[in-house]
A and B are shown apart, each in its own frame.
Chain A
Amino acid sequence: MTQHVPNVNHRFNSLTINRLGLWLFLVSDASFFIALITSRFFVEGTSRPDHVNQALGLGLTVLLLLSSLTAYRAEAAAEHGDRKQAQKMLLATIAMGVIFIVGVAFEWYEALQHFPPSTGFGTILFTLTGVHVTHVATGVLALGFVYFQVRRSESDADSQWAVEGAVKWWHFVDVAWVFIYPTLYLVG
């Protein structure tokens, strides 16, 4: 019995499949965020409660944007074979991700007092930040996994896709926040 093995061209390798698969997944996940962001205007219009913590929202935004820079530098360092620098930048990104999660927890603590989930704005805030912070947490886990992989791997090629994939996911989380920030903190 002969088994069919596709004669796959070298350009059409598993890395290409991985990259395309990740992009497709990101696009499908983006549609989820688009639906949630749209629901804010459907439920609450453009009104915003007075007690929204503007300083915290801005701080979280700056933190996440900075973490995208360190993630970008980690990927660039891994590409150039500088594993020490890649590890350093991955750790910095993870640290900022953890601080972001703590910041969102503080936001929730404040939000519970002023606009609990039973209110319109509370529903939107807890849903949007809840879904987003879940993405951040999985990003932190993925980056942590990749950090140990870079540390243990014997060649740069072993860990390069892992770094690229986790970093792309992190940038996606950042892009999502770029739209969530004005939706929750600035509109109104």
Chain B
Amino acid sequence: MKTGWVVIGLLAVMTAVEFAIAVMAKDSLLLALLLIIALAKGWLIIQYFMHFGQLWEHVSDAWYGMLNDDPAADSDED
């Protein structure tokens, strides 16, 4: 639960900074800064709210499952 509040706090701060930058910066500097902040905000949501780290566990589970799929054993069972 605490993670959620920390992440939303960081997102709020970044949104405020993003807005302030849009008022102050211009042209390519503005574009670069906005892109960096959007990437950071997106990463926070994907990493902590969407549990991106667990994706590798799912991939390894799927890989492990495929490697251990033994059709011969199934035929024996039949």
Closest-CB distance, B58 to chain A (whole angstroms): 5
1/0 per residue B1-15: CB within 8 Å of A?
Answer: 100110110011001
> A46-B27, A66-B8, A72-B4 known; A12 and B75 CB under 8 Å?
no
B68: A residues at CB distance < 8 A: 7, 9, 12
**Does A2 make an interface contact (CB < 8 A)?**
yes
Q: Which of A3, A65, A76 has the most CB of B within 10 A?
A: A65
B37: A residues at CB distance < 8 A: 182
Beta-carbon contact of A68 and B49 below 8 Å: yes
Number of residues in B with C-beta < 8 Å to the partner? 43
Interface of chain A, helix or strand or loop or mixed? helix
Beta-carbon contact of B64 and A186 below 8 Å: no
C-alpha gap A59/B8 in the complex (Å): 15
Beta-carbon contact of A76 and B1 below 8 Å: yes
Which chain B residue has the least Cβ–Cβ distance from A11? B61
Which chain B residue has the least Cβ–Cβ distance from A164? B51
Beta-carbon contact of B65 and A178 below 8 Å: no
Not counting A7-B69, A12-B64, A72-B7, a sample of 10 additional A-B residue pairs whose C-beta atoms are within 8 angstroms of each other reads A4-B78, A46-B30, A69-B5, A69-B7, A171-B45, A171-B46, A174-B49, A182-B37, A182-B38, A185-B22
Interface residue ranges, B against A (CB under 8 Å): 1, 4-5, 7-8, 11-12, 15, 18-19, 21-22, 27, 30-31, 34-35, 37-38, 41-42, 45-46, 49-50, 54-55, 58-59, 61-62, 64-66, 68-71, 73-75, 77-78
Q: Kindly list the 4 A-B residue pairs having the minimum CB-CB distance in the complex, ordered from nearest.
A: A12-B65, A186-B22, A2-B78, A182-B34
